[in-house]
Structure 1
């Protein structure tokens, strides 16, 4: 026997044991009318259970342990919240348990009622050393069951991420535009430079750009200056002009640039250098100031994409990756994969978060439709699930997979996973 108490929760919840001729440890006939509902909070494991013992029908709670003596180890004998336990379900009944009032607690022992095959399958699933527990079995699970659980994990993922949005929204006194601007900036960092982009966005509020929306040089000066890139002496005209503009604007708005040293260039393709990303970000501000309002108004995915296409990036960046080195001409536009990333991680998230926060299902529906229109992500995690036979049609599925891996597979919560439960039921 090598399983935790959670396994017995599963066995009881789904009655995955021999239900014939059930008797308590005292030999009384026992009938399970309803096993109750799993309690995920403090207190007995199952609430609102209904059990017939002998001729009497009892309604109350059920507590589950590996051994009956665990009741004493957990100090339930002195906890009044366990006085309404009507049945103690254990794998092994090793000691008689009494309630606080001295009455004997009825016990159902499952030791000889759980199939060895089920225990072995659980141990194989739970103690696997592969990338995720059901890597060998998931391809045999009906796709409808897999997709259904991925829908649940996707919603879980976006609810968790939405909480972070709401926390930032609260810090910014309910300003959705500024909150969206902060998250959009972080997204432009694409993991490697996410933190520098976030700090840069905090250094210069979006409302300042609005005062200079008709002057591209000033917008670009505000962006690069706040990001800390205009402290050097420059020979070329464009960066020299940016520096001059920023020196004036910095004093006007009391801007404190972030440290340029926190930006990362190493082991990156030049097209992903933060300087080029900042140039694209400045161009996005020029093209669509107060972007959140526009995102909320646009329902067609093609139109959302166009917000991030054909950005008016300064021509300087066609031949530069940073201010002091010229290179061969390259595209200054955001690639399709990067646009998909922004639509997924910022636009869809904010549609969902706004819908949840304001109680407007319309925006949640739009977020889901947007995810369904985006291609599935390809990364180390999704690749492993694909190799195991999981079909991911779109970003809705791949986001669900990422949540599944993080919250269920990595935590070995197979007994809380719809896919894991189905695998065990196939025993």
Structure 2
């Protein structure tokens, strides 16, 4: 039994919904199951459920056992405070919110019939994740290593194309390109595109001129990102908003206008306010950043260059108008690793390519210093005996899965060709 099966049952209501009761015997009526987001946090967002004639709106969390709540440390995460129903296959312990109120539990196994279980296993069981999953770990190491290098540079070529397109839009200003790429990186998956649009909308010449005063930089970045659109009593917020309107008037810039950045599903250290302040402080503390990044050749030098924290205001804030316990918000080594993977290496590759230089070995050497990425694809390869010792391995495996395995291009893959020879 896997948790994703329970997600399927809940999402499509593949159980007896007419006679539902909580484990304590209270009647349940499902109005809406909620939105399945598949991100960090509760499994289903904004569900509507009636329990004992009381209608509730909030989130639904799903586990195999109730005790998994504590195994996953949800009791330490405020993002789970709004869970209105705990759906489990087996109820083995009570779960409480921080105010000591018990979260209602639906034990699902009582309401799922045998036919549904059998039908789901038959319907949803995939033929295979990749065609060579039982043989890939038997490929000769030399062959696989060479194929990894090819995959890695294919991935860099794709990223370089986007960089060259952006270079055309910025009048061949590598510093401006770097700012846009870093902004996207700082936004992670959720806010990456929004941060990128923010960076594109700020003329880099203006950013250069205002980089000597951190408050002006934050005002420009926060305002363009739409974080100064509301009205707040916070003194720092008011100061940034005043500076922002002064700057857009001074430089005749267009005002904001983009979709709001997202706080939902983020841990506080990844809140857009914190990441944008760190980005502003990076450009406040580092002059001619591209020239420094273009020659980085070790992970340690990358860590040294990106030793940056959010501004003093954010020591005891994650959002405007809301104080929090004091904590310095610095870039972690794991976050800098992402910058190396997604910004520094692609930019170095594209820059060297534009000059006709060959730096392949240097790029591989640097990436082999970076810890392997952690995600579902890498975990799946690991289950087949394909281990990743560094980010070089994980980047090549991601390229393999996305561009070859998913597309069924086995006859264009070195692994597939090698297996054909053996057969």
Q: How does 1:289-368 map to 2 (within 5 A)?
A: 289-309=287-307, 311-362=308-359, 364-368=360-364
Describe the SS at the equivalent of 1:267.
coil
Describe the SS at the equivalent of 2:222.
helix
Q: Is 2:167 the partner of 1:173?
A: no
> Matched residues in 2 for 1:365 and 1:377: separation?
21
Describe the SS at the equivalent of 1:154.
helix
Which of 207, 231, 248 lines up with 2:205 in the alignment? 207
Instruction: Look up the match of 2:375.
Output: 379
1:290: how far off? 3.1
> Matched residues in 2 for 1:391 and 1:147: separation?
12
Give the TM-score normalised by the residue count of structure 2. 0.67
Instruction: Look up the match of 2:419.
Output: 423
Q: Residues 403, 358 of structure 1: CA spacing in aligned structure 2 closer, same or farther, 3 A cutoff?
A: same
Deviation sequence 1:208-240 (CA, Å, 0-9, x none): 122122212111111111212123333222212
1:261: how far off? 4.2
Q: Residues 365, 177 of structure 1: CA spacing in aligned structure 2 closer, same or farther, 3 A cutoff?
A: farther
> Matched residues in 2 for 1:249 and 1:258: separation?
12
Which of 391, 397, 407 lines up with 1:401 in the alignment? 397
> Matched residues in 1 for 2:222 and 2:293: separation?
25
> Matched residues in 1 for 2:200 and 2:259: separation?
17
Question: For the aligned residues, what is the CA RMSD?
Answer: 1.6
> Matched residues in 1 for 2:256 and 2:131: separation?
44
Q: Residues 205, 289 of structure 1: CA spacing in aligned structure 2 closer, same or farther, 3 A cutoff?
A: farther
Deviation sequence 1:91-131 (CA, Å, 0-9, x none): xxxxxxxxxxxxxxxxxxxxxxxxxxxxxxxxxxxxx8211
Identify unmatched segments of 5+ residues in structure 1.
1-127
Give the TM-score normalised by the residue count of structure 1. 0.67
> Matched residues in 2 for 1:149 and 1:129: separation?
25
Instruction: Look up the match of 2:231.
Output: 233
Instruction: Look up the match of 1:224.
Output: 222
Q: How many residues align?
A: 298
Identify unmatched segments of 5+ residues in structure 2.
1-125
Q: How does 1:66-215 map to 2 (within 5 A)?
A: 129-215=127-213
> Matched residues in 2 for 1:318 and 1:352: separation?
36
Describe the SS at the equivalent of 2:372.
coil
1:357: how far off? 2.0
1:303: how far off? 1.5
Alpha carbons 1:226, 1:255 under 8 Å: kept: no
